[in-house]
C-alpha cells in the first residue's frame, strides 16, 4: 500500500508542473496525453489499483481520484488561459478605421409583386391558400374537367415524375383499396403542377362553401427559356364561391385589384375564351399608362370564368345551389409590366445589380 500511495504525490506534482508550463494549446495537449492519456503515466498508475490487496483498494482509490480531479482542474484552467491568449489579436487594433458596412437586404421583385397582390385581395376578404407543387393528374386536370384525351392537356404536357417502383415481393402485400378486392388502387401519376388551379380542387374538397381564396405559387411547364418563357414561373389563382355569384362580381373584383396594382386609371376588358373548368370563360386584357409605354393599348394578363358545374360536382358542391368565379394569372408578367423588365430570365439569375433596383 505504502509503495502505491507514495507514487501519487510526486507524479501529481510533475503533472501539475507540466500542465502549467505548457506555452500553447498544442503543448498543453501533449502534456495532457503524457499524464492523462490512454498511455499516460497517471493512467498507468490508476491501472495498478486493480492489483492491490482488497483492504487497501478503498483508500488508494480515493487518493488517486482526488489527485486526478486536481489534475483535470489544472488542465481546464490552463486551457482557458491559453485559449484566451490565442484569441487575442496579435497586432494592436486601429480604432480609427471606418466601420464595416452591413448592407440591408431587399425582397425579390417577384416577392414584392406577390405581396402587393395578396395585400389587395386581403382588403376584400380573401385568404391565402396553398397546395403541393408535386401534384397528381386528378387535381391538376381530371377534377378540373380536363380528361386525359382533352386537347387542353397537350398544351400543359409537362414534367412527370417516375412512377413508384413495383412493390417488393418479399414484403407482405399492401392492404387492398376496396374491401373484398385484391387489387391495390392504381397509384395516381405525379407531375409538377402546371398551374395553381389544382389548389381550387384541394380547397373545395376540404371545406364547405362559401370560399374566398387566392393561391400564389410556383408552377412548372415544359417550356424552353426565352425572354418571355421559363420552365418554372409563378401564378396567382383566385376562387370565389357563394350563392348568386355573377360575372359582374368577377369583373368588379378584377378591376379593383388591377387598379390597386397598376394604377387608378387602369381599364380592363373581358374577351370570350375557353377553359375547361369555367363556363363562360374569358381572357382579361388591361390598359394603362404602363401598357401604352410598351406601345400597346391592351395587354392580355389573365384567364377567368364562372366555375363549371362539373367542377362543383367533382368536389361535392351542389351546382344548383353554389355559383362562383375563378381566375389565374402569371406573377412574372405583372412584375415585368410594372417594373419595365424585358426578359423573364433576369428574375432567376440572382444578379445583385439587377435585384438592387427594386
Contact residues toward ligand DAH (CB under 6 A) are 195, 197, 237, 275, 278, 303-305, 326-328
Cα–Cα distance between 83 and 73 in angstroms, integer?
Answer: 15
Judged by beta carbon, residue 82 or residue 236, the one nearer ligand DAH is 236
C-alpha cell at 138: 386528378
Judged by beta carbon, residue 261 or residue 301, the one nearer ligand DAH is 301
Judged by beta carbon, residue 35 or residue 145, the one nearer ligand DAH is 145
CB of 303 to ligand DAH, least distance (A): 3
Angle at alpha carbon of residue 301, lines to 107 and 305, rounded to 5°: 120
Residue carrying C-alpha cell 385581395 = 121
Around Cβ 142, how many Cβ atoms within 10 Å?
A: 17
Cα–Cα distance between 307 and 314 in angstroms, integer?
Answer: 12
Around Cβ 65, how many Cβ atoms within 10 Å?
A: 12
Judged by beta carbon, residue 31 or residue 230, the one nearer ligand DAH is 230
C-alpha cell at 68: 486526478
CB of 197 to ligand DAH, least distance (A): 4
- Nearest 5°: phi and psi at 307? -55, 130
- Among 156, 230, 155, 160, smallest CA distance to 190 is for 160
CB of 345 to ligand DAH, least distance (A): 20
Q: Name residue 218's beta-bridge partners.
A: 234
CB of 307 to ligand DAH, least distance (A): 8
CB of 135 to ligand DAH, least distance (A): 12
Judged by beta carbon, residue 253 or residue 278, the one nearer ligand DAH is 278
- DSSP 8-class letter at 131: -
Judged by beta carbon, residue 11 or residue 219, the one nearer ligand DAH is 219
Provide the 3-class DSSP secondary structure of residue 259.
Answer: helix
Q: Pairing mode, if any, of strands 127-128 and 211-220?
A: parallel
Residue carrying C-alpha cell 464595416 = 100
- Among 138, 153, 158, 274, smallest CA distance to 201 is for 138
CB of 98 to ligand DAH, least distance (A): 52
- Residue 147 makes CB contacts below 8 A (sequence gap 6+) with 141, 153
Judged by beta carbon, residue 131 or residue 303, the one nearer ligand DAH is 303
Question: Are the C-beta atoms of 249 and 327 separated by less than 8 Å?
Answer: no
CB of 274 to ligand DAH, least distance (A): 10
CB of 247 to ligand DAH, least distance (A): 12
Judged by beta carbon, residue 211 or residue 326, the one nearer ligand DAH is 326
Amino acid at each position: 500500500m505504502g509503495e502505491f500511495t507514495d507514487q501519487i504525490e510526486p507524479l501529481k506534482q510533475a503533472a501539475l508542473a507540466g500542465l502549467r508550463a505548457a506555452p500553447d494549446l498544442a503543448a498543453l495537449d501533449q502534456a495532457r496525453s503524457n499524464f492523462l492519456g490512454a498511455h499516460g503515466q497517471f493512467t498507468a498508475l490508476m491501472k495498478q489499483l486493480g492489483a492491490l490487496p482488497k483492504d487497501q483498494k478503498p483508500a488508494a482509490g480515493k487518493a488517486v481520484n482526488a489527485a486526478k480531479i486536481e489534475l483535470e482542474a489544472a488542465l481546464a484552467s490552463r486551457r482557458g488561459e491559453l485559449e484566451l491568449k490565442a484569441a487575442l489579436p496579435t497586432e494592436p487594433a486601429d480604432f480609427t478605421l471606418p466601420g464595416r458596412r452591413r448592407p440591408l437586404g431587399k425582397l425579390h421583385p417577384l416577392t414584392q409583386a406577390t405581396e402587393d397582390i395578396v395585400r389587395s385581395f386581403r382588403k376584400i376578404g380573401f385568404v391565402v391558400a396553398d397546395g403541393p407543387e408535386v401534384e397528381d393528374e386528378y387535381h391538376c386536370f381530371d377534377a378540373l374537367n380536363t380528361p386525359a384525351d382533352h386537347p387542353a392537356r397537350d398544351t400543359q404536357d409537362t414534367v412527370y415524375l417516375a412512377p413508384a417502383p413495383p412493390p417488393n415481393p418479399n414484403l407482405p402485400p399492401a392492404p387492398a383499396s376496396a374491401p373484398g378486392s385484391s387489387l391495390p388502387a392504381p397509384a395516381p401519376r405525379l407531375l409538377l403542377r402546371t398551374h395553381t388551379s389544382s389548389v381550387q380542387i384541394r380547397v373545395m374538397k376540404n371545406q364547405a362553401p362559401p370560399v374566398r381564396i387566392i393561391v400564389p405559387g410556383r408552377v412548372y411547364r415544359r417550356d424552353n427559356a426565352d425572354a418571355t418563357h421559363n420552365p418554372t414561373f409563378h401564378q396567382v389563382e383566385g376562387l370565389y364561391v357563394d350563392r348568386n355569384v355573377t360575372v359582374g362580381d368577377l369583373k368588379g373584383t378584377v378591376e379593383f385589384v388591377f387598379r390597386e396594382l397598376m394604377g387608378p386609371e387602369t381599364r380592363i376588358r373581358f374577351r370570350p375564351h375557353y377553359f375547361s373548368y369555367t363556363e363562360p370563360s374569358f381572357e382579361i386584357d388591361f390598359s394603362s399608362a404602363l401598357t401604352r409605354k410598351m406601345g400597346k393599348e391592351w395587354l392580355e394578363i389573365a384567364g377567368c370564368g364562372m366555375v363549371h358545374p362539373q367542377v362543383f360536382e367533382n368536389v361535392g358542391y351542389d351546382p344548383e345551389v353554389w355559383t362562383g368565379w375563378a381566375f389565374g394569372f402569371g406573377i412574372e408578367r405583372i412584375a415585368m409590366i410594372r417594373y419595365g423588365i424585358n426578359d423573364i430570365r433576369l428574375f432567376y439569375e440572382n444578379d445583385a445589380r439587377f435585384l438592387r433596383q427594386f
